[in-house]
Amino acid sequence: MVIESVLGNLESLGSQVTTVDPIELTADLRTRPHFRRTAASGAEVTVSLPRGVTLEEGDVLSLTDGVAVVVRAAPEDLLEVRPRTALEWGVTAYQLGNLHRDVRFRDDCLLSPYEESTEQVLRASGVPYERVMRSFAGARYGAYTGHPEHPSLVAQRHRHTHGSHSHAGHEHV
Protein backbone atom coordinates (compact mmCIF):
# COMPACT_ATOMS: atom_id res chain seq x y z
CA MET A 1 0.00 0.00 0.00
CA VAL A 2 1.14 3.56 -0.72
CA ILE A 3 0.55 6.21 1.95
CA GLU A 4 0.37 9.83 0.75
CA SER A 5 -1.30 11.43 3.79
CA VAL A 6 -2.05 10.80 7.45
CA LEU A 7 -5.72 9.95 8.04
CA GLY A 8 -5.72 11.21 11.63
CA ASN A 9 -4.76 9.60 14.91
CA LEU A 10 -6.22 6.76 16.93
CA GLU A 11 -8.03 9.18 19.24
CA SER A 12 -9.72 11.10 16.43
CA LEU A 13 -10.77 7.95 14.52
CA GLY A 14 -12.09 6.22 17.65
CA SER A 15 -14.66 3.52 16.97
CA GLN A 16 -13.75 3.27 13.26
CA VAL A 17 -10.65 1.34 14.37
CA THR A 18 -11.28 -2.22 15.52
CA THR A 19 -7.74 -3.61 15.06
CA VAL A 20 -4.36 -1.87 15.26
CA ASP A 21 -1.57 -3.03 12.94
CA PRO A 22 1.47 -1.18 14.31
CA ILE A 23 4.37 -0.02 12.19
CA GLU A 24 7.37 0.74 14.39
CA LEU A 25 9.45 3.73 13.23
CA THR A 26 12.51 5.47 14.61
CA ALA A 27 12.52 9.26 15.05
CA ASP A 28 14.64 9.54 11.90
CA LEU A 29 12.14 7.58 9.82
CA ARG A 30 9.22 9.57 11.24
CA THR A 31 10.72 12.74 9.69
CA ARG A 32 11.52 11.25 6.27
CA PRO A 33 9.04 11.94 3.49
CA HIS A 34 9.70 8.67 1.63
CA PHE A 35 10.45 5.18 2.91
CA ARG A 36 9.27 1.56 2.88
CA ARG A 37 8.60 -0.58 5.95
CA THR A 38 6.64 -3.62 7.00
CA ALA A 39 3.80 -3.41 9.54
CA ALA A 40 3.47 -6.05 12.28
CA SER A 41 0.94 -7.98 10.13
CA GLY A 42 3.49 -8.27 7.32
CA ALA A 43 1.78 -5.65 5.15
CA GLU A 44 4.28 -3.74 3.01
CA VAL A 45 3.89 0.01 3.47
CA THR A 46 5.37 2.64 1.14
CA VAL A 47 5.22 6.13 2.61
CA SER A 48 5.36 9.14 0.28
CA LEU A 49 4.36 12.23 2.27
CA PRO A 50 4.86 15.92 1.52
CA ARG A 51 8.21 17.30 2.73
CA GLY A 52 8.12 18.59 6.27
CA VAL A 53 5.48 16.21 7.61
CA THR A 54 6.58 14.44 10.79
CA LEU A 55 4.78 11.27 11.76
CA GLU A 56 3.76 11.05 15.42
CA GLU A 57 2.94 8.18 17.77
CA GLY A 58 -0.64 7.09 17.07
CA ASP A 59 -0.90 8.50 13.52
CA VAL A 60 -3.12 6.34 11.33
CA LEU A 61 -1.62 5.71 7.90
CA SER A 62 -4.38 3.52 6.50
CA LEU A 63 -7.77 2.20 7.58
CA THR A 64 -9.42 -0.70 5.79
CA ASP A 65 -12.35 -2.66 7.22
CA GLY A 66 -11.53 -1.44 10.74
CA VAL A 67 -7.83 -2.40 10.52
CA ALA A 68 -5.59 0.63 11.03
CA VAL A 69 -1.88 0.78 10.24
CA VAL A 70 -0.70 2.93 13.13
CA VAL A 71 2.67 4.60 13.79
CA ARG A 72 4.49 3.40 16.90
CA ALA A 73 7.62 5.22 18.01
CA ALA A 74 10.37 2.60 18.15
CA PRO A 75 12.56 2.33 21.24
CA GLU A 76 15.93 4.00 20.70
CA ASP A 77 19.21 4.37 22.64
CA LEU A 78 18.68 7.70 24.42
CA LEU A 79 19.88 9.87 27.25
CA GLU A 80 16.97 10.77 29.53
CA VAL A 81 17.96 13.96 31.35
CA ARG A 82 16.08 14.99 34.49
CA PRO A 83 17.18 18.43 35.68
CA ARG A 84 16.16 19.22 39.28
CA THR A 85 16.23 23.02 39.20
CA ALA A 86 15.60 25.87 36.77
CA LEU A 87 19.37 26.41 36.61
CA GLU A 88 19.95 22.78 35.64
CA TRP A 89 17.22 22.98 32.97
CA GLY A 90 18.91 26.07 31.53
CA VAL A 91 22.41 24.59 31.64
CA THR A 92 21.22 21.35 30.06
CA ALA A 93 19.34 23.09 27.25
CA TYR A 94 22.34 25.37 26.62
CA GLN A 95 24.81 22.47 26.52
CA LEU A 96 22.68 20.27 24.27
CA GLY A 97 22.00 23.19 21.95
CA ASN A 98 25.67 24.14 21.86
CA LEU A 99 26.48 20.53 20.90
CA HIS A 100 23.77 20.66 18.20
CA ARG A 101 22.06 17.58 19.67
CA ASP A 102 18.56 16.65 18.67
CA VAL A 103 16.26 16.98 21.70
CA ARG A 104 12.68 16.12 22.57
CA PHE A 105 11.11 18.05 25.43
CA ARG A 106 8.80 16.35 27.89
CA ASP A 107 7.21 17.73 31.06
CA ASP A 108 9.61 15.85 33.31
CA CYS A 109 12.75 15.32 31.21
CA LEU A 110 14.71 15.99 28.04
CA LEU A 111 15.55 13.17 25.62
CA SER A 112 18.53 13.11 23.29
CA PRO A 113 20.07 10.29 21.23
CA TYR A 114 22.93 8.61 23.08
CA GLU A 115 26.40 9.83 22.19
CA GLU A 116 29.41 9.38 24.43
CA SER A 117 30.41 13.03 24.11
CA THR A 118 26.94 14.15 25.22
CA GLU A 119 27.12 11.82 28.20
CA GLN A 120 30.51 13.30 29.16
CA VAL A 121 29.10 16.84 29.12
CA LEU A 122 26.10 15.81 31.22
CA ARG A 123 28.31 13.97 33.71
CA ALA A 124 30.60 17.03 34.03
CA SER A 125 27.62 19.35 34.58
CA GLY A 126 26.25 17.19 37.41
CA VAL A 127 22.75 17.05 35.91
CA PRO A 128 20.98 13.72 36.56
CA TYR A 129 20.62 11.54 33.47
CA GLU A 130 20.18 7.91 32.57
CA ARG A 131 20.86 5.93 29.41
CA VAL A 132 17.56 4.31 28.38
CA MET A 133 15.83 2.47 25.56
CA ARG A 134 12.57 4.30 24.87
CA SER A 135 10.78 6.11 22.08
CA PHE A 136 12.32 9.42 21.01
CA ALA A 137 9.06 11.34 21.24
CA GLY A 138 8.09 14.69 22.71
CA ALA A 139 7.87 18.32 21.68
CA ARG A 140 10.43 19.61 19.17
CA TYR A 141 11.43 23.23 18.88
CA GLY A 142 13.09 24.77 15.85
CA ALA A 143 15.78 27.42 16.11
CA TYR A 144 14.39 30.85 17.00
CA THR A 145 10.71 30.00 16.53
CA GLY A 146 9.80 29.34 20.14
CA HIS A 147 6.91 27.19 18.97
CA PRO A 148 6.66 23.40 18.97
CA GLU A 149 6.88 21.91 15.50
CA HIS A 150 3.56 20.32 14.66
CA PRO A 151 3.31 17.34 12.31
CA SER A 152 1.48 19.31 9.63
CA LEU A 153 3.91 22.23 9.52
CA VAL A 154 6.82 22.46 7.14
CA ALA A 155 10.12 22.67 8.99
CA GLN A 156 11.83 26.02 8.55
CA ARG A 157 15.58 26.28 8.13
CA HIS A 158 17.56 29.03 9.78
CA ARG A 159 21.04 29.97 8.56
CA HIS A 160 23.45 31.49 11.06
CA THR A 161 27.03 31.38 12.33
CA HIS A 162 28.52 30.87 15.77
CA GLY A 163 31.37 33.00 17.14
CA SER A 164 33.92 34.45 14.78
CA HIS A 165 33.24 35.43 11.21
CA SER A 166 35.70 32.76 10.03
CA HIS A 167 33.14 29.98 10.70
CA ALA A 168 30.95 28.98 7.81
CA GLY A 169 27.20 29.35 8.23
CA HIS A 170 25.04 26.30 8.65
CA GLU A 171 21.39 25.35 8.97
CA HIS A 172 19.21 23.88 11.71
CA VAL A 173 15.96 22.12 10.95
Q: Where are the domains of the chain?
A: 2-73, 76-146
Helix (H, G, I), strand (E, B) or coil at 57: coil
Do the beta carbons of residue 99 and residue 66 sit within 8 Å? no
Tell me the per-residue pLDDT of 114-143, one tens digit each, with 9 for 90 and over. 999 999 999 999 999 999 999 999 888 776
Residue 149: its pLDDT value, please? 52
The confidence band for 173, taking pLDDT boundaries of 50, 70 and 90, is very low
Tell me the fold of 2-73: HSP40/DNAj peptide-binding domain (2.60.260)
| Helix or strand (DSSP H, E) at 21 | strand 19-25
Examine domains 2-73 and 76-146 and report if their fold is the same. Answer: no
Class of domain 76-146: alpha beta
Tell me the per-residue pLDDT of 47-85, one tens digit each, with 9 for 90 and over. 999 998 999 999 999 999 999 999 999 999 999 999 999
Residue 160: its pLDDT value, please? 39
What's the predicted TM-score (pTM) here?
0.73
Percent of the chain with pLDDT over 90: 76
